[in-house]
Structure 1
């Protein structure tokens, strides 16, 4: 199949030509940054508790949740794609074996959702946000836990999730929502 050949050619190229000690450590670091979307969730929470950037934090967290629900909650269980290391039992992983299915990459989804949302509010850091997202996505290939098409799917899903989050956020009257929450707690 053409997709399998594409995926395997890229993974084998990375495995055979790019691995060395320092890059191993760097890729483990970037993958750990993306674990469970923690980096992005922490950024969202910091923004949320900062009065000036509360809206940005809320938008980021909403968008990350949309990506997680769509990717981890729905798509992975519909596609049921095994991870690359399951097809090559001799592969020695540099990280613990991830659980769950491969498509789409959750790390990549969260990273690109976040980079897209954050770059809309903090334009001068766009290159930084997308550089981190790309490094996280590449780390998943380098560490042999995702296929290239899983990462591509994560990029697409991440941007779609960000756009859905922005759309929903713009449609909801934040002042009305705040008022309702305030009334709920004071009644």
Structure 2
């Protein structure tokens, strides 16, 4: 098991080193910094979700996005990060420098990837075309965290997978809850 973990750690580090050596230091730096910043605290996703709540056709998607992000915050930030306590790549490897301040101490899982994929997946469950665009943005935000050397690839992968699961679960629950309330309201109207 320890050999497998050593291999994963080595691959994680080498991918970050490759990104830092081959991609960083040019015109991509401000773009990736901006992508990472709009993902801070799920700001872009919360804003979008709240806007979607105002329209009947998109209300379920907005509610599901907020539910998915809340679940992601609880699972990722409050539970897993504190359980695993994995240091950031630039802390562990002095040859990696962070492009920006990471926001908190721990690396696993990536909160940016988790919230982005949770929200984008929830949106995709209700609106496929818009959801695909949101998933592309989620992937760019997740990659920006690697680019900035503030997460390992396995942090981002874990955040992405947990986010996708929570996005689907939130969409399912939102559908059931809203349908239940709608049915109750209709039955009360019949009496």
**TM-score (norm: length of structure 1):** 0.88
Q: CA RMSD for the aligned pairs? A: 2.0
Specify every segment of 5 or more residues in structure 2 that has no aligned partner in the other structure, as ranges: 1-5, 186-191
d(CA) in 1 for partners of 2:175, 2:81: 28
1:75 matched to 2:80? The reply is: yes
1:121 to 115, 122, 126: 126
Deviation (angstroms), 1:128: 1.5
Q: Which runs of structure 1 show a deviation greater than 4 angstroms over 4 or more consecutive aligned residues?
A: 177-180
d(CA) in 2 for partners of 1:102, 1:162: 21
1:62 to 51, 54, 67: 67
2:148 to 143, 150, 153: 143
Following superposition of structure 1 onto structure 2, how do residues 134-173 of structure 1 map, counting pairs within 5 Å? Answer: 134-173=139-178
Deviation (angstroms), 1:177: 8.0
Following superposition of structure 1 onto structure 2, how do residues 24-43 of structure 1 map, counting pairs within 5 Å? Answer: 24-43=29-48
- Alignment coverage as a number of residue pairs: 180
Deviations along 1:87-111, one digit per CA (max 9) or x if unpaired, are 1235433212431311000000011
Q: Which residue of 1 aligns with 2:109?
A: 104
Specify every segment of 5 or more residues in structure 1 that has no aligned partner in the other structure, as ranges: 181-187
Deviation (angstroms), 1:126: 3.6
d(CA) in 2 for partners of 1:20, 1:127: 30
Q: Which residue of 2 aligns with 1:88?
A: 93
**TM-score (norm: length of structure 2):** 0.86
Deviation (angstroms), 1:119: 1.6
d(CA) in 2 for partners of 1:155, 1:45: 22
